């Protein structure tokens, strides 16, 4: 079992370490990348040898904070995973190489499995980047615009641009602190929340066409098949931000997105409001996440996936059947 440590202790470990490998999760998003690139820069300022690694290529839209180009290769002495709730979320390659060797995990998921030797988890934070901001302060490193834009990206992306329930006063204040340094937040918001390719718009249209409703419209299920992706011309970086769509429909308590993966299996995402706990649903299918946003994997046909997730919804949210 892991040892749960404070942010002060986490900062102390990082100050004592060198040749540090930072790890992002597979299918990297703004928070895991923002956390990694922010801490990377802070540790470089302290003269450390540092590198960020990720199973997947960093999507182009995050180029503005990507510092991987300058990174040197080295054999790490200290391995730190950021925003990675479970070793298997590192992705198969990274898990095989580093999954058993993570010295420290810094995370904001209440479902963190404690796979690291030591874990610093604060599930009250909207984004892992908020914990990283505090740890950077504890490291004694001054915030720069380049660090601040990574932190801002993490907070903004994990809170749906301050729309979700996790976007509390602290999230707003930390964002404001980052903005005080003069970060290009307009560009950051545009690339993350306000820009869709024509292929993405076509994919959304196809997905909306096939939306299915259950339990008097309280459950909405949207399926994204490989065939739909091919037909729309959507690329991997057109695929983000689809899971919130079903729950945006009036009257929906639980929005489910079934996304087919290359191997034909499904990635299931659940989004909920105050009436249901997304994490409770996905835990029943071997996954996890947050109260309002959670996920799991499913190997089977789309019909089997739908049946399984509906059963899990009914079990986790009995009131959804009667209204």
3-state SS class at 212 = strand
The pattern of x and - marking residues 265 through 294 that bind a second copy according to CB under 8 A reads: --------xx--------------------
| Cβ atoms within 10 Å of 2's Cβ, excluding its own | 17
Q: Does 304 bind a second copy (CB under 8 A)?
A: no
CA atoms within 13 A on the CB side of 71: 22
Q: How far is CA 159 from the centre of its chain?
A: 10
| Cβ atoms within 10 Å of 110's Cβ, excluding its own | 15
- How near is the Cβ of 134 to a second copy at its closest, in Å? 17
**Encoded tokens for 106:** 């810094």
Q: Does 167 bind a second copy (CB under 8 A)?
A: yes
- How near is the Cβ of 195 to a second copy at its closest, in Å? 5
Nearer to a second copy, 60 or 77 (CB): 60
- How near is the Cβ of 142 to a second copy at its closest, in Å? 18
Q: Does 179 bind a second copy (CB under 8 A)?
A: yes
Block residue for tokens 């100050």: 15
Q: Does 319 bind a second copy (CB under 8 A)?
A: no
* Separation between Cα atoms, residue 248 and residue 120, nearest integer Å: 33
The pattern of x and - marking residues 114 through 153 that bind a second copy according to CB under 8 A reads: ----------------------------------------
**Encoded tokens for 268:** 């299931």
DSSP 8-state code for residue 169? H
Phi, psi of 178 (to 5 degrees): -65, -40
Q: Does 169 bind a second copy (CB under 8 A)?
A: yes
With contacts defined by CB under 8 A, name the span among 113-121, 176-184, 297-305, 309-317 that binds a second copy. 176-184
**Encoded tokens for 24:** 């992002």
The pattern of x and - marking residues 43 through 62 that bind a second copy according to CB under 8 A reads: --------------------
- How near is the Cβ of 249 to a second copy at its closest, in Å? 6
* Separation between Cα atoms, residue 51 and residue 36, nearest integer Å: 9
Block residue for tokens 């300058």: 70
Q: Does 180 bind a second copy (CB under 8 A)?
A: yes
3-state SS class at 214 = strand
Question: Which of 173, 261, 275, 319 touches a second copy (CB under 8 A)?
Answer: 173
First to last CA, the chain: 41
Q: Does 175 bind a second copy (CB under 8 A)?
A: yes
With contact defined as beta carbons under 8 Å apart, do 271 and 255 qualify? yes
Question: Strand 3-4 and strand 118-121: pairing?
Answer: parallel
Number of residues that bind a second copy (CB under 8 A): 40
* Separation between Cα atoms, residue 312 and residue 283, nearest integer Å: 9
Q: CB-based burial of residue 143 (10 Å sphere; 0-12 exposed, 13-18 middle, 19+ buried)?
A: middle
With contacts defined by CB under 8 A, name the span among 22-30, 164-172, 222-230, 309-317 that binds a second copy. 164-172
Nearer to a second copy, 200 or 267 (CB): 200
* Footprint (CB under 8 A) of a second copy, residues 182-221: 185-187, 189-190, 193-198, 201, 205, 208-209
With contacts defined by CB under 8 A, name the span among 28-36, 91-99, 137-145, 165-173 that binds a second copy. 165-173
> Under the rule (CB under 8 A), what is the footprint of a second copy?
156, 160-165, 167-170, 172-173, 175-177, 179-180, 185-187, 189-190, 193-198, 201, 205, 208-209, 244, 247-250, 273-274
């Amino acid at each position: 079992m892991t040892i749960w440590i404070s942010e002060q202790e986490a900062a102390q470990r990082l100050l004592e370490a060198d040749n540090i490998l930072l790890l992002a999760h597979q299918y990297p998003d703004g928070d895991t990348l923002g956390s990694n690139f922010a801490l990377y820069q802070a540790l470089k300022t302290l003269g450390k040898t540092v590198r960020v690694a990720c199973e997947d290529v960093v999507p182009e839209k995050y180029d503005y904070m990507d510092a991987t180009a300058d990174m040197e290769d080295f054999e790490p002495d200290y391995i730190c995973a950021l925003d990675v709730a479970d070793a298997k979320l590192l992705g198969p390659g990274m898990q095989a190489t580093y999954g058993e060797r993570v010295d420290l995990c810094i995370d904001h998921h209440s479902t963190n499995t404690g796979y690291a030797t030591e874990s610093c988890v604060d599930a009250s934070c909207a984004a892992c980047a908020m914990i990283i901001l505090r740890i950077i302060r504890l490291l004694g490193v001054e915030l720069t615009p380049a660090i601040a834009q990574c932190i801002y990206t993490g907070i903004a992306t994990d809170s749906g641009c301050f729309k979700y329930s996790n976007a509390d006063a602290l999230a707003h204040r930390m964002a404001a602190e980052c903005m005080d340094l003069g970060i290009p937040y307009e560009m950051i918001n545009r690339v993350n929340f306000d820009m869709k390719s024509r292929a993405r718009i076509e994919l959304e249209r196809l997905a909306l066409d096939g939306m299915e409703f259950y339990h008097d419209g309280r459950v909405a299920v949207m399926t994204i098949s490989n065939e739909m992706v091919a037909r729309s011309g959507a690329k991997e970086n057109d695929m983000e931000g689809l899971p919130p769509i079903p729950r945006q429909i009036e009257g929906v308590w639980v929005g489910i997105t079934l996304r087919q993966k290359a191997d034909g299996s499904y990635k299931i995402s659940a989004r909920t409001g105050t009436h249901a706990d997304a994490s409770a649903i996905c835990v029943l299918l071997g996954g996890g996440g947050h109260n309002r946003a959670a996920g799991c994997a499913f190997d089977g046909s789309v019909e089997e996936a739908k049946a399984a997730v509906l059963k899990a919804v009914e079990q986790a949210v009995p009131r959804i059947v009667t209204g």
